[in-house]
Structures are given as structure tokens and as C-alpha cells.
Amino acid sequence: MNSSGAKVPVLQLHCTTKWILLYIYFCRFPHRPTLLVASEGNPFNKMVIKEDLETTGEPRIKFKGPIPNLLDYLAKALNFSYRYVRPPDRLWGVKLDNGSWNGMVGMVMREEVSIGTGPFILSKSRADVVDFTVPILTDYWRILGARGKPEVDPWGFLLPLAPLVWVVILTALLVLAAVIFFISSFFFPKTKSQESLLQILFSYCRILLQQDILVSDDWWWERVVLAVWMLMTLVLTRSYAGNLMALLAVRHISEPYHSLREVLDDPSVTMVWLKGSSVGRYLTEAESGIFREVGDREKEGRLLWRTQAQFPNDIDTWVRRGTHVLMEVHYGLKMSLGKDYTKTGECSFYESKEEFLPLIFAMVGPKNSPLVPAISKRITSMTEAGLFFQWLKTEEPNSTVCYRTPTKVTVKTSLSLTNIWGMYVILAAGHLVSLSVLCLELLSLHLKHTGIK
């Protein structure tokens, strides 16, 4: 292409296409042509608009980031200059129902530009109309959600012991009382002071609650059983008290969505996916499985298609409020997390632990373009040297600050009623039950006296 965007005639290079291919692959352009490059803003390409006062005075589009660094590297290696062109629809490119292509892929297919930077997801449908370079990187889709505020679990007094431990304690209490009652009833002579099953159960409950108890001196084996039970309850109560004090100083930060299944099962959250991507076509055409369920959520209004340029505002509004989650590639989310931390100084978002839909990213060129193998050779050298990943790190220094942020924090503050209202619920429920039992006892006593009269 020349500076006006017209195609460069093959004769200008005084060579056949085959020799052009060999020359560019091993060397570089003999003259410095100006190529048109299709690009659009994304986490790898940060768009910068400047006024071109020297020429037309109109805004001039520039990009900065890992992909522009790669393009500069290729321009220097192959001896060409370039000028950015944005797609009118601001899309990457998918095949339309009429067989045409939109976005940057359509521009490359129609040879309106020489290179599409993307980076583009490799897919068969795209490979039919454009040529891909060697891969730049491999990545996975993840979920971006808003982190909750630090809060105390009001039912935290149950957490020092696992549910199974609570069940075992209750079972041991019932079994122990029953065994003592049956042994003393069937194998030893009955006495006036012999306790009933309910009395034995209450006695062992008093020990568990660290209350006093009267022990008869009739049988030594009862004292041995009682001593063992006291030792076990002492260890349990001390462990419970220590763990409870530690848990009351811990604030829990919720991260509710770490998998696609968790998102699908929550009807209150909406998914945001990239518009004009090959993944969108896959979701709408999937015939079964979890991705079929994701595609069906569009009919329910729980799936939105948004362009890359709309993502920053969506993150700062919908996702931050917790009503939406964003589906984006891992490296793109790292850039967004780092940018938000640089702006706010807080880790307000998190990435899901689950990864899905592995993706391979590359640049594209027109079909049978001699530039593609030449660019691929330089990309291979660049990736083997680790330059691209170094550019990713330096582009957003805080990209790893919020990576695997802890979900529990320790604080020193006074407890409020909102932190321990669960205990008062148990207290009120216990008093209500005891009042009900008292009423039944009074009613029973009244009926008994009435019957006697």
C-alpha cells in the first residue's frame, strides 16, 4: 500500500510474487512503503487521539501497548511505516448472514488494509477468508466480578466447629446418657437416688455448658465415665472459645462467582460478552452443554453484547455494583484490574478461578499475502525472546497487585449488633421455646387440678 491506502503494484518491487516472498522473509522491503493497519482499542491497544495540527488539523489516532510495540518491532525489522485505520463498526469481525464480513476481518479480507493487528482469535471461519500469523499468545476466558465489602458473618459463632463435629457432639451426648441409664437400670439394683434418662442427659449437658453437677458416690464406674466426658468437653470448649475470638476479628470478603455454573444458577446477575467476536458466534450456535445454556440466557435478558470500547464504563458501573459480570480473556482482565487499582488504590474486582474456552491469538493479513510469513518469522523471534510478555508487564505495572487477593482480613474494632445478631436470634428462639413449654406445663397442671375436683 502507498500512503493514500492504494495497493502497491507487484511490479514496483521488480520481482515476482515468489521472489517477493523470499526477499521479505529473509530480508526486508527495499523501499519504505506506508501500510494501512486495522486496529481497535482493547487492553492490548490503548487508543490515544491527538490533533494533527501540522496537516489537516483533524484528530489523529495512535495506540500504545504491547501490540503497538510489536507493530513497531515489525516495522523496523521489515522496513515499512504504517498508519492506523479503525473499522467503522468498531468490531473485530464475524461472518454475517449474507456471507460478508464486518469489522477488521472484513477490511483485511477486502484488502482495504495490509495488516489486522487485533489480536484475533484463531477460528476456522476466519481462516477461510484471511491468513493468520503464528500465535502471539494463548489465553483463556475468565469472569470479572466485584468484590464484596469486608463483613462479619452473623452466624460466625457456629464456625469454630465443623457441622460434622456438632453432630458428633450431640450424638455422643445422647448415646452416653442412654448407655449409662440402661447399664444402671439392668445390671445394678435400683435405688431411690437412681436418675432417670432425662436427668442423666441434663447432667451431662450441664458439664458441656460448664455448669456445676452433683455426683452420687454409689458406683465408681459412673465417676470414670463422668471424668472422661469432662476432659473431652474441656478440650472442646477451650478450642471453641479460642477459635471464636479469632473469627470475630476476621472480616469476610465475598467473591460469589468463580465458575460459569455459579453465574448461570444466579438469576440476579447478567453476563457481558464481547460483541463481534468469534466466541459470540460459538455461543449462539452451540447445540448442547453449558455454553448452550449461556447462549440461551440472551432470551432472558441476562446476556449483553458490548464492544471493547464500552468495557471500561461497564466495569466502572454495572460490574462494580455487582449486578453484572464481565467475560474477558485473562490478560485483558489483568490490565483492567491494574488500571482500576492505579485509579482507586483498592482491589475492587476479582478474577474467577475457573478458566474456559482456550484461545489462540494472532495477527491477520489478506489471503496469500507475502507479508504474513515474513511477519510470522519476526513474531516467532520476538515471542522466543520473551519480549511480548515483558511488554505486558511494563504496560500496566499494577496488573498483578490484585491477583489472588485474600478474601479474609483481620481488623481490630468493637463488635456491633449487626455482627452478632445471630446469637440474639438463638437466644430469642430459646426463650420462645421455653415460654411455650411453660405455658403447656401450666395448662397441664390446670387440667390436672380441674380433673381432681
Grid cell locating 410:
483481620
Render pLDDT for 94-105 as a digit per residue (tens, 0 to 9).
888 888 999 999
- In the chain, where the domains are located: 156-250+414-452
Per-residue confidence in pLDDT tens, the chain, 453 aa: 444 444 443 333 334 455 555 555 556 788 889 999 999 888 788 877 665 545 555 567 788 888 999 999 999 988 999 999 989 888 888 888 888 999 999 999 999 999 999 889 888 889 999 999 999 988 899 999 998 877 766 777 777 777 888 888 888 888 888 887 877 777 666 554 556 777 778 888 888 877 777 666 556 777 788 888 888 888 888 888 877 777 777 777 888 898 999 999 999 999 999 887 778 878 888 888 899 999 899 888 999 998 888 888 999 999 999 899 999 988 888 888 888 888 888 888 989 989 988 889 999 999 998 889 889 999 998 888 888 888 888 877 787 788 777 776 666 666 677 767 777 888 888 889 888 888 888 888 888 777 654
User: 102, 110 in Cβ contact below 8 A?
Assistant: no
Q: Is the pTM of this model over 0.75?
A: no
Per-residue confidence (pLDDT) for residue 318, from 0 to 100: 93
Q: Give CA–CA dist 82/180, Å, rounded.
A: 91
CATH number among 1.10.10.10, 3.30.1380.10, 3.30.470.10, 1.10.287.70, domain 156-250+414-452: 1.10.287.70
Task: Please name every residue paired with 146 in a beta bridge, in sequence order, or none if there are none.
Answer: 349
- Please report the pLDDT score of residue 194 as a whole number: 57
Beta strands at 356-366 and 115-121: parallel, antiparallel or unpaired: antiparallel
